[in-house]
């Protein structure tokens, strides 16, 4: 996943280097989005887990100030966590997040390929823990984990996120967007001083569909 981030960063820098400013009019967008998240937690020592599915949605603001490059800010609600199917345990964490990303695009006026990448700050607003078997929470259970029944210690999260997508721009302004995005958290969910896990970092991907409204669509001159 780290190599994926590095590749997108190099691609973005290359496009920005060759961007031309001649006869370009900035583009201003506001949009709404929704989709699904698929996440795990990277534990060390390792925990056998599977992807936790969740919901994602929010609003976005985009300014393309130079040919093929600009910035995008979002305010999102997203769910992430992890599942341990062998013992019937799952954890679903809900966040409000604000990614601030470099936006890169290339293609013709109607069809565009997009790249968004940058840092993201998030705050956890809920923590839902589930057991299929209630005996799994007992210390006498051989599969007992020290975080069962314990709150997440880190409410704030700092992530790096990067995504690639495809957009179709309408003649009258506005666009439909489909994007796949990966994210990687830097802080640990659990303090290594209080738990046997030296690492407990969230990571995963999300797929979203969005509609963007363009505020400053250039009008054709009347004959």
- Digit-coded pLDDT (tens) for 74-101: 999 999 999 998 888 999 999 999 999 9
Task: Report yes or no on 17 lying in a domain.
Answer: no
Task: Report yes or no on 221 lying in a domain.
Answer: no
- Over pLDDT 90: what percentage of the chain? 61
Number of independent structural domains in the chain = 1
What average pLDDT score do residues 165-185 get?
94
Structure-token pair, residue 123? 């705050």
Task: Report yes or no on 20 lying in a domain.
Answer: no
Task: Report yes or no on 97 lying in a domain.
Answer: yes
With a cut of 80, say whether residue 13 has pLDDT above it: no
With a cut of 60, say whether residue 146 has pLDDT above it: yes
Task: Report yes or no on 121 lying in a domain.
Answer: yes
Cα(167)–Cα(203) distance, rounded to whole angstroms? 25
Task: Report yes or no on 120 lying in a domain.
Answer: yes
Number of H-type helices and E-type strands within the chain: 1, 8
Mean per-residue pLDDT of the chain: 86
Phi/psi zone of residue 9: left (φ > 0), alpha (ψ -120 to 50 degrees), beta?
alpha
Task: Report yes or no on 46 lying in a domain.
Answer: yes
**Do residues 140 and 106 touch, judged by C-beta distance below 8 A?**
no
With a cut of 50, say whether residue 15 has pLDDT above it: no
What average pLDDT score do residues 183-212 get?
94
Phi/psi zone of residue 23: left (φ > 0), alpha (ψ -120 to 50 degrees), beta?
left
Domain that holds residue 180: 2-8+36-214
Q: pTM (2 decimals)?
A: 0.83
Looking up residue 86, the CATH number of its domain turns out to be 2.40.160.20
Task: Report yes or no on 16 lying in a domain.
Answer: no
- Which of the two residues, 63 and 68, has the higher pLDDT score? 63
């Amino acid at each position: 996943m780290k190599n994926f981030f590095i590749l997108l960063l190099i691609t973005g820098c290359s496009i920005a280097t060759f961007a031309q400013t001649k006869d370009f009019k900035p583009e201003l967008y506001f949009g709404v989005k929704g989709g699904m998240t698929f996440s795990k937690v990277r534990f060390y020592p390792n925990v056998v887990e599977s992807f936790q599915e969740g919901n994602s949605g929010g609003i976005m603001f985009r300014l393309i100030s130079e040919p093929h490059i600009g910035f995008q800010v979002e305010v999102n609600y997203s769910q992430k966590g992890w599942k341990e199917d062998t013992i019937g345990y799952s954890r679903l964490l809900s966040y409000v997040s604000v990614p601030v990303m470099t936006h890169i695009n290339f293609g013709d006026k109607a069809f565009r390929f997009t790249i968004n990448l940058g840092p993201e700050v998030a705050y956890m607003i809920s923590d839902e823990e589930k057991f299929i078997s209630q005996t799994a929470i007992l210390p006498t259970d051989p599969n007992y984990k020290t975080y069962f029944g314990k709150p997440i210690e880190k409410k704030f999260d700092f992530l790096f996120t990067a995504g690639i997508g495809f957009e179709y721009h309408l003649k009258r302004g506005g666009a439909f967007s489909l994007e796949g995005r990966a994210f990687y958290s830097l802080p640990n969910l659990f303090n290594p001083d209080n738990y046997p896990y030296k690492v407990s970092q969230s990571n995963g991907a999300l797929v979203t569909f969005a509609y963007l409204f363009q505020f400053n669509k250039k009008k054709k001159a009347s004959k």
